[in-house]
């Protein structure tokens, strides 16, 4: 039996932190053997928030280096970027013509964006339809997402069903696989670790950055276990190992932090070094992405050919 297709879209948003890693990224890398995996950098989606060309290109390059350094194997995974495959935007347009405005207006992401900014752009409104195209072009079975993206996968399903109903069976219905939000790891200030709060530990941090971040972790002044330090530490070591240490060193925050710095450095250093290796030859890393695009193109263009035939524009 052939493997199921798993597809994941990654935002080129720059500088991943350890919360990102222990959520989606680690899971995705573990899935490389079990599934036929597609990983695409969703640069056209990112246009909604990245408005300078320079930042866009830098972020694309950075995310390629990040994933290669983490061990994404381009022989197993079709690793590419969305903008290399014009079929994504083409299919999005076709879907736009079977999608109603009231339907898209029910999307949470749209409602949130609208609540904050009335001058919402069309790209943001149409975001879920481009995402549906990303998914459906590759006949993906499984879409690993955080809970916040579940509705988008449902929109992709609805869109597939609607197209199939109107034009005849063409698309496979995808399913969301909800990846538990391990990223509810506290940041250094105790709030959720998030770039927007500036409370992260970067995944490829230098030793000094690790040290500075850990030393700044907020602890209450009690005698017990510093819970923010512990929660971050618990990503690296199981409770069975960690609890006895924390219990025997209760109240000794500085010592516990030093222990965490040591463990973080042990975990991060090899990744950081690998990333530096890839960084020495960026054209080579980009050639990997480009080759992935060629593989993806073959699949996407075959599907698109079928779609053109179904909607009747294929007259020769
Ligand atoms: N919307 C996703 C996010 O913000 C990114 C994304 C775009 C995606 N296309 C996708 C995720 C296709 C999975 C499948 O994280």
Residues 30 and 128 occupy one common structural domain: yes
Calculate how far, in angstroms, residue 77's C-alpha sits from the geometric centre of ligand 1.
17
Confidence (pLDDT) at 250:
85
**Where residue 221 sits, what CATH number does that domain have?**
1.10.240.10
Confidence (pLDDT) at 105:
95
Residues 65 and 149 occupy one common structural domain: yes
Is residue 49 situated within a structural domain? yes
* DSSP per position, 55-104: HHHHHHHHHHHHHHHHT--TTTEEEEEGGG-THHHHHHHHHHTT--HHHH
Residues 14 and 158 occupy one common structural domain: yes
Measuring from atom 2 of ligand 1, which residue has the nearest CA? 9
Is residue 316 situated within a structural domain? no
**Where residue 115 sits, what CATH number does that domain have?**
3.40.50.620
- Of ligand 1's atoms, which has the minimum distance to the CA of residue 130? 9
How many separate domains does the chain show? 2
The overall pTM is greater than 0.85: yes
Residues 75 and 138 occupy one common structural domain: yes
Residues 72 and 172 occupy one common structural domain: yes
Measuring from atom 11 of ligand 1, which residue has the nearest CA? 9
Residues 172 and 263 occupy one common structural domain: no
Give every residue of the chain whose pLDDT is below 70, as ranges.
1, 181-184, 221-222
Can you give the residue range of the structural domain that contains 59? 5-183+282-311
Residues 292 and 257 occupy one common structural domain: no
Residues flanking ligand 1, CB < 6 Å = 7-9, 11, 42, 45, 131, 134-135, 143, 145, 149, 152
Calculate how far, in angstroms, residue 39's C-alpha sits from the geometric centre of ligand 1.
10
Encoding tokens for residue 232? 């971050």
Residues 128 and 246 occupy one common structural domain: no
**How far lies 18's CA from each of 200, 274, 282, in Å?**
8, 16, 23
Confidence (pLDDT) at 272:
98
Measured CA to CA, the distance from residue 178 to residue 114 in angstroms comes to 26
Confidence (pLDDT) at 182:
58
Measured CA to CA, the distance from residue 136 to residue 160 in angstroms comes to 7
Of 45, 126, 141, 155, the one to substitute when testing ligand 1's pocket (max ligand atoms within 8 A of C-beta) is 45
> What pLDDT digit, counting tens, does each position of 94-132 carry?
999 999 999 999 999 899 888 888 789 999 999 999 999
Measuring from atom 12 of ligand 1, which residue has the nearest CA? 9
Could you tell me how far CA 82 lies from the centroid of its own chain?
A: 14
């Amino acid at each position: 039996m052939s493997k199921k297709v798993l597809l994941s879209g990654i935002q080129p948003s720059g500088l991943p932190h350890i919360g990102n890693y222990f959520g989606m990224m680690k899971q995705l890398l573990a899935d490389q053997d079990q599934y036929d995996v597609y990983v695409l950098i969703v640069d056209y989606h990112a246009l909604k928030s990245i408005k300078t060309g320079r930042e866009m290109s830098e972020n694309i390059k950075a995310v390629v280096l990040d994933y290669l350094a983490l061990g994404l194997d381009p022989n197993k995974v079709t690793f590419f970027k969305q903008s290399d495959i014009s079929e994504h935007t083409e299919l999005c347009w076709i879907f736009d013509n079977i999608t109603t405005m009231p339907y898209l207006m029910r999307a949470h992401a749209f409602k949130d964006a609208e609540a904050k900014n009335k001058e919402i752009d069309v790209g943001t409104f149409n975001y879920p339809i481009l995402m549906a195209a990303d998914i459906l072009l590759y006949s993906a079975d499984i879409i690993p997402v955080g809970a916040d993206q579940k509705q988008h996968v449902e929109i992709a399903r609805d869109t597939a069903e609607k197209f199939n109903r109107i034009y005849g069976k063409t698309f496979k219905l995808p399913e969301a696989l909800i990846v538990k939000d391990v990223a509810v790891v506290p940041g250094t200030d105790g709030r959720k670790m998030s770039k927007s709060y500036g409370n992260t530990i970067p995944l490829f941090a230098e030793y000094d950055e690790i040290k500075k971040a850990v030393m700044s972790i907020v602890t209450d002044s009690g005698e017990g276990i510093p819970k923010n330090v512990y929660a971050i530490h618990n990503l690296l070591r199981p409770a069975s190992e960690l609890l006895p240490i924390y219990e025997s060193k209760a109240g000794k925050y500085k010592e516990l932090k030093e222990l965490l710095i040591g463990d973080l450095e042990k975990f991060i250093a090899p990744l950081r070094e690998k990333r530096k290796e890839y960084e020495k030859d960026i054209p080579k890393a980009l050639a990997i992405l480009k080759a992935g695009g060629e593989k993806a193109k073959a699949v996407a263009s075959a599907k698109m050919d079928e779609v053109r035939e179904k909607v009747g524009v294929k007259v020769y």
